[in-house]
Amino acid sequence: MSWPTLTKPASAEKTPGADGFIQRWLILEPIPVNGLTESAVQAIVKKEYIPDQFSVIPHDGDTVTVGGADLAWYAVDTKLYNVNLYHFARALGKPTSDVLFWAVTTVNCPREMRDVRLAIGSNAASVWWVNGQEVIGIYGDRQTVIDDGVSKRLTLKKGSNIVRAAVVNGGGATDFCARFLDRDDKPLKEFTVSVGEVSK
C-alpha cells in the first residue's frame, strides 16, 4: 500500500503536530452514499452501516461487510495537518465520490482537561463524536478549512478518549483535519494519539 501523504504508523503513540493537529487515524474504506445537506448527512450517519458503529474501536486490518462488500480498517499517519481521503481511497482502488468515510482515533491525556474544544475541517460534510457524544456537524459542499467546525466546551478524561468522525464527500477532493483548542482558543498539544496494534 502506498499513499503520497500517508504512512503506516511505526510507533505506539504519536504526539500532535506543531499546530496540534491529530495525525494518526483508523480509516474505513468508503461506503457509497448520496447527499450533502444537513438532513441528508444526519440521516446517513445515523444509519447503522456497521455493527456498533458509534462505539467500536477498530484495529488495523479489521474488516466489516457493508452492502455485500468487505471493507477494511487501515491505520494511517499523515505527514500533513490533514488526512487526504482522496489519496487513501484511490490507492486502494475505491471510489472517492458520493462516499462516507468513518475515522476513529484514541486520544490519551495525561490528566483531565476541561474547557477544550474539538476544532475540525472537512471536505465535504462531517459529523464528529467525542466519547460517544455528538459534538460537531458541518454540512454542504465545502473545503477543509482549519477550525471550521468547533464544538462546545468539552472535558477530556485522564487516559483514553475516543474521537470518531463520519466524513461525507460529493465529488472532487476529500479530506479532513482535527485538533483540540484549549480555553484560550490555542491548540492543545498535551496528548498523544494511538490506534492500537498495527499489522506489519
Partner 1 sequence: MRFGVLATLFALASIALALEGQVGIHDPSTVVLCNGKFYTYGTGGSSLVSDDGWTWRRGTALPRRGLAPDVIHLGDRYYVYVAANIGAQPKAAINMIWSKTLDPDSPDYKWEEGGVVASSDGIEDSNAIDPGVFLDPTDGRLWLTYGSYFGYIRLVELDPKTGKRINLNDQPRDLAINCEASDMMYHEGWYYLLATHGSCCRGADSGYNIRVGRARKVTGPFLDAEGIDMIQGGGKLLIGSGGRMIGAGHFGLLDLGEGVQKFSMHWEADLDRGGASVLDIRPLLWKDGWPVAGENLKEGSYEIESLRTGTALEMAVEGVPVGGRMARGGRGGGRGMFAGTGSPIPPQDAAQVSANWPAGSIGARLANYLCQAQQQWRITAVPNAGGYPGSPYFKITIAGTERTLAATDDAELAVLPAFTGGPEQLWRMDQLSDGSWRIMPKSVPNSKEAVVLSAVGSSFATLSKLDPKSEKQRWLFKTP
Could you tell me the smallest distance in angstroms from the CB atom of residue 183 to partner 1? 9
Closer residue to partner 1 in complex, CB, 38/98: 38
Closer residue to partner 1 in complex, CB, 13/115: 115
Q: How many alpha carbons lie under 13 Å from residue 75 in its C-beta half-sphere? A: 23
Whether the Cβ atoms of residue 50 and residue 102 lie closer than 8 Å to each other: yes
- Burial string for 18-49 (b: 16+ CB within 10 Å, else e) reads eebbbbbbbbbbbbebebbeeeebbebbeeeb
Closer residue to partner 1 in complex, CB, 60/148: 148
Could you tell me the smallest distance in angstroms from the CB atom of residue 148 to partner 1? 5
- Three cell numbers at 146? 482549519
Other beta carbons within 10 angstroms of residue 153's beta carbon come to 10
Other beta carbons within 10 angstroms of residue 110's beta carbon come to 10
Could you tell me the smallest distance in angstroms from the CB atom of residue 106 to partner 1? 24
Query: Which residues here bind partner 1, judged by CB under 8 A?
Result: 37-39, 117, 119, 138-139, 145, 147-153, 181, 185
Could you tell me the smallest distance in angstroms from the CB atom of residue 3 to partner 1? 28
Could you tell me the smallest distance in angstroms from the CB atom of residue 97 to partner 1? 16
Q: Report d(CA 188, CA 166) in Å as an integer.
A: 22
Q: Report d(CA 161, CA 184) in Å as an integer.
A: 21
Question: Which amino acid, 183?
Answer: R
Closer residue to partner 1 in complex, CB, 2/39: 39
Closer residue to partner 1 in complex, CB, 153/157: 153
